[in-house]
Amino acid sequence: MERYWLVAAAFCYLLSFGHTLFALGSGTFRPARFNLLTMALGFAFSSAFLYQRGQIVGACPITNLFEVLVFLSWATVLIYLLVGPTYRLSLMGAFTSPLVLTLLLFALLAPIDAASKRISHNPWVEFHAAVSIIAYGAFGLAAIAGVMYLVQERQLKARRLSELLLNLPPITELGRVNFRLIVTGFLLLTLAFTAGMLAGIDVRGWKTAASLFIWALYGTLLILARLRLVSAGRIVVASVAVFLFALITLPSVSQLPK
Amino acid sequence: MNILCAGINHHIAPVNVRERLAVATHELTDVLRRVRAIDGLTEAVVVSTCNRVEFYAASICPERALHGIRTYLSDRAGIDAPLYHHDTPRSVRHLFRVASGLDSMVLGETEILGQVKQAYASAADAGATARTLNKLFQRAFRVAKAVRSDTQITRGATSVGAVAVELAGKIFGDLANRRVMVLGAGDTSERTARSLVSRGVKTVIVSNRTFDRAAALAGEIGGMAIHFDHWQNEFPDVDILVSSTAAPHPVVTRAQLEPMMRHRAGRPLFIIDLAVPRDVEPTVNAIDGVYLYDIDSLQDIARRSLAVRQREIDHCERIIDTHVADFVRWMRHHHPTPAPASVLTPALPT
């Protein structure tokens, strides 16, 4: 029954994406609150789902891949709501909505909502898992800022002053947002690892190796960016690639630790 | 009650005529007082910009009011200016078009709205407006807002300088802390540099083969002049290069720029090449973080923006038509005294 909340959330994200596409296509896009409102409404519906599911499983609702995907989409929108208006990235909602919509649709349509036997009631383990996924949300949004950067760069290099270029934020600002979101995600993931160590979770195996590898990749990106050893363009390309890798490894790293 | 509009603009009068009729800010109160003293005229607003001088008046007898305005203007300026004139509803429509930027020299420009607002505020402060013109101008501001937000009439930039500024904004955002170098002090580079300064650029370095010319331009725009032999020393710290030298060969090459870009700590470089033959090798656009625009690409963007604006004219006119009809209905309802559709003889086209 609680899945209806997700259908409503998916509808909101679809509305946000569709409205922006239509507005850009017809040349009437103006920075407005519509994206923010639809994204906030979708977030509220997702929150309602997570609350009800949490009541049912009696724990943080990240006990299987279905819940992890929903939680990840929720975390991505959470970071968007915290970051988007601050940086006035009016089109960020339009770029965020397809990602969260894809995550939700996959969660809803794929047969992955199986009851898990590994439900933890250790608060440190739950904290570790929840903060890890929120970190992934920040990395997801960094990748979205990265995609916006690449679109903007392509438009500028091609010397086209299109509707999209006119409405995207300045390219240097997108580079800064990408960097700050990677910093946010990296700090959250570090916090999650610390909580995992405090919980005494088993650090052997593929799950830990993949998580640490992703953490190390983002750490390397931050060092390269901070020391300005590579250009902002390459950092954003790398951040998009690392996030895609993180998504691929998500089914394995999303298993609750022993 | 009728609304009369009489004036001149850039369509019908050259600048030497417009400047004779122009009303300076400090003269406005006195001019309004004199215009309101005209027989049959109850309210007045004077819009005076570099491209137009227009009198809007509420009058129960527009013919007498028009005659009074003509006489006053010819006494004041010492010439019989070729005024155009409209009464309701054409005057209403004219103001809505003016406020929306449809009657401007640069189609869709938005500066005019601020100027009309200022003119109305000055008249209101001087007690020269009442119900009819208050309603008319407030409606004009709403129309301009609707036209701006519901159409693409203000889309893009329509001059080389404006396109350069828009692109610089899309690369850097805030331009205040950006360093601009002007290489070769030609007219277009000067206008472009001025546009960038007007958008907040504070540091401008000017280099020209003739140092005196560089110094003169630097003095005018608040920049710094350097000798042409030294421009490469300053170049690594520059964010925006505006180049228009008369050199027969490229002065900025890919081989020069690539090692330089490695030491810029990831800062992008925006190059505006206004020279013909071009000053910058086209292949530098392929360097990471370099955005090169030559005169053709800038003019092409400006042309496309203008074409988009021109395509929007019909849409704007439809919005304006709706508001004119609505306003005329309001007038009929609140001023039921006879107000023929048009009592004046045909005016000059605008």
pLDDT tens profile B159-209: 888 888 889 999 998 898 899 999 988 888 888 898 899 888 988 999 998
Report whether pLDDT(A73) > 90.
yes
> B281 φ, ψ to 5°?
-60, 130
pLDDT of B349: 46
Same domain, B105 and B174: no
Model ipTM? Answer: 0.80
| Closest partner CB to A27 (pick from B152, B169, B289) | B152
Pick from A152-161, B46-55, B136-145, B321-330: least confident? A152-161
**For position B140, what pLDDT does the model report?**
96
Tell me if A30 is assigned to some domain: no
Residue A207 domain flag: yes
And the tokens for A133?
């996924």
- Indicate if the pLDDT at residue A256 is higher than 60: no
Residue B113: CATH number of its domain: 3.30.460.30
Q: What share of chain B is helix, strand, coil (3-state, %, to 5)?
A: 50, 15, 30
Which of A167, A231, A237 to probe the B interface (max B CBs under 10 A)? A231
CA atoms of A190 and B213, how far apart (whole Å): 59
| Average pLDDT across chain A, whole number | 84
Q: Does residue A255 register a pLDDT over 50?
A: yes
CA distance A203 to A209: 8
Mean per-residue pLDDT, B297-319: 91
Structurally, how many domains does chain B consist of? 2
Q: How many CB atoms lie within 10 A of CB B131?
A: 13
Whether the per-residue pLDDT at A209 is higher than 90: the answer is no
- Across residues B240-259, what is the average pLDDT? 90
Evaluate whether residue A36 is within a structural domain: no
Q: How confident is the model at residue A129 (pLDDT cuts 50, 70, 90)?
A: confident
Minimal Cβ distance to A156: which of B171, B288, B304: B171
Q: Omega of the bond prior to B336 within 30 degrees of 0, cis?
A: no
The answer to whether residue B44 scores a pLDDT higher than 80 is yes
* For range B85-113, the mean pLDDT: 93
- First-to-last CA distance in chain A? 30
Residue range B196-231, pLDDT digits in tens: 998 889 889 999 989 999 999 999 888 899 998 888
Q: How far is CA A235 from the centre of its chain?
A: 18
Give the closest of B163, B170, B304 to A156, CB-based: B170
pLDDT at B100: 95
Distance from CA of A152 to the nearest CA of B (A): 9
DSSP state of B230: G
Does some domain include residue B69? yes
Dihedral angle over CA of A223, A226, A230, A231, nearest 10: 140
* Contact (Cβ atoms closer than 8 angstroms) between residue B57 and residue B47: no
Burial (0-12, 13-18, 19+ Cβ within 10 Å), B144: buried
Looking at per-residue pLDDT, the higher value among A88 and B33 belongs to B33
Q: Residue A3 falls within a domain, yes or no?
A: no
Residue A70 belongs to a domain: yes
pLDDT (average), residues A67-73: 90
**Pairwise pLDDT comparison (B277 vs A121), residue with the higher score:** B277
Element (H, E) at B84: strand B84-86
Say yes or no: B156 contacts chain A, CB-CB below 8 A: yes
Flag whether A4 is in a domain: no
Q: How many domains does chain A have?
A: 1
Q: How far is CA B115 from the centre of its chain?
A: 10
Rounded Cα–Cα distance for residues B138 and B133 (Å) = 8
Question: Is B300's CB within 8 Å of A157's CB?
Answer: no
Report strand pairing: B179-183 vs B203-208.
parallel
**Does B150 lie in the same domain as B269?**
no
Residues B311-320 have a mean pLDDT of 94
Write down the pLDDT at residue A84.
61
Please tell me the distance in Å from B264's CA to the nearest CA on chain A: 9
Residues B16 and B125 in one domain: yes
Structure confidence by residue, pLDDT tens digits, A15-62: 988 887 887 776 666 656 778 888 899 999 999 999 998 888 887 888
What pLDDT, on the 0 to 100 scale, is given for residue B182?
Answer: 93
Q: Say which residue the tokens 């300026």 belong to.
A: B77
Q: Which of residues 31-60 of B touch A (CB under 8 A)?
A: none
Q: CA B106, B112, B116 angle in degrees (round to 5)?
A: 155
- Give the torsion sign (CA, B330, B334, B340, B342): negative
B343 belongs to a structural domain = no
Q: How are beta strands B224-227 and B203-208 bridged, if at all?
A: parallel
Q: Tell me, what's the pLDDT at B271?
A: 95
**Shared-domain flag, residues B9 and B148:** yes
Answer yes or no: do B131 and B193 share one domain: no
Residue A120 has pLDDT above 70, yes or no: no
DSSP letter, residue B285: G
Please confirm, yes or no, whether B50 is among the known catalytic residues. Answer: yes
Q: What is the pLDDT of residue A184?
A: 93
Q: How confident is the model at residue A257 (pLDDT cuts 50, 70, 90)?
A: low
Number of neighbouring beta carbons within 10 Å of residue B76: 14
pLDDT band per the 50, 70, 90 thresholds, residue B342: low
Average pLDDT over residues A181-186: 94
Q: Give a yes or no: residue B339 inside a domain.
A: no
How many CB atoms within 10 Å of residue A170? 18
Residue type, B143: V
Residue B146 sits at the chain A interface (C-beta within 8 Å):
no
Whether residue B42 sits in one domain with residue B78:
yes
Least CA distance to A168: which residue of chain B?
B170
Instruction: Note the pLDDT of residue A162.
Output: 75
How close A79 comes to chain B (CA, Å)? Answer: 23
State the average pLDDT over residues B279-301: 92
Is residue B342 included in any domain, yes or no? no
Identify the pLDDT of residue B350: 45
Distance, CA of B261 to CA of A228 (rounded, Å)? 12
pLDDT tens digits, residue range A210-245?
Answer: 889 999 999 999 999 988 888 888 999 999 999 999
Q: Give residue for tokens 């959250």.
A: A188
CA angle A204, A209, A213 (to 5 degrees): 160
Residue B184 lies in domain: 160-303
The first and second tokens of residue B30, run together, are: 């006195």
For residue B200, the domain's CATH number is 3.40.50.720
Indicate whether B80 belongs to any domain: yes
A99 and A206 in contact (C-beta within 8 Å)? no
Looking at residue A110, what DSSP letter applies? Answer: S
Percent of chain A with pLDDT over 90: 37
Say what the pLDDT of residue A86 is: 53
Tokens of B341: 């559709």
Residue with tokens 């009650």: B1
Which residue in B152, B265, B268 is closest to A228 by CB distance? B265
Instruction: Kindly state whether A117 is in contact with chain B, defined as any CB-CB distance less than 8 angstroms.
Output: no
Domain shared by B267 and B328, yes or no: no
Q: Are residues B127 and B164 in the same domain?
A: no
Domain span holding position A246: 52-89+118-253
B246 & B166 share domain: yes
CB A242 within 8 A of CB A215: no
